[in-house]
Amino acid sequence: FSLEMVHVDSLRTDERSRLLLGTTIDPISGLTSAFFSTELRLSQTAVDFGDNPVCDSVEFVLRFNGPSYGLNADQYLVVEQLADTISIDSAYYAQDIPETIPGNLVDPASQPVQMHPSQSVYVGSDTLSAQVRMLLDSNFGQSLIDADSSVFASNAAWREHFKGLQVRSESGGGGIVSLEPNAGVSYLRLHYHNATDTTTYDFILNANAARIGHFRHSWSSEFQALND
- For 68-101, write each residue's pLDDT tens digit: 999 999 999 999 999 999 999 999 988 889 999 9
User: Is 98 in contact with 212 (CB distance < 8 Å)?
Assistant: yes
What pLDDT score does 102 carry? 96
Q: What percentage of the chain exceeds 70 in pLDDT?
A: 98
What pLDDT score does 183 carry? 86
- Classify residue 19 by burial, with Cβ atoms within 10 Å: 0-12, 13-18, 19+: buried
Q: What percentage of the chain exceeds 90 in pLDDT?
A: 79
Residues in the chain: 228
**Mean pLDDT over each residue of the chain, to the nearest integer:** 93
Strands 121-123 and 100-101: unpaired
pLDDT tier at 7, thresholds 50, 70, 90: low
- For 136-169, write each residue's pLDDT tens digit: 999 999 999 999 999 999 999 999 999 999 999 9
Beta bridge partners, 44, equal none
- The one-letter code for the residue type at 159 is R
The reply to whether the predicted model has a pTM over 0.85 is: yes
In 3D space, the residue among 166, 96, 107, 178 whose CA is nearest the CA of residue 136 turns out to be 107
- The one-letter code for the residue type at 45 is T
What pLDDT score does 165 carry? 98
Indicate whether 195 pLDDT > 90.
yes
- For 10-44, write each residue's pLDDT tens digit: 789 999 999 999 999 988 889 999 999 999 999 99
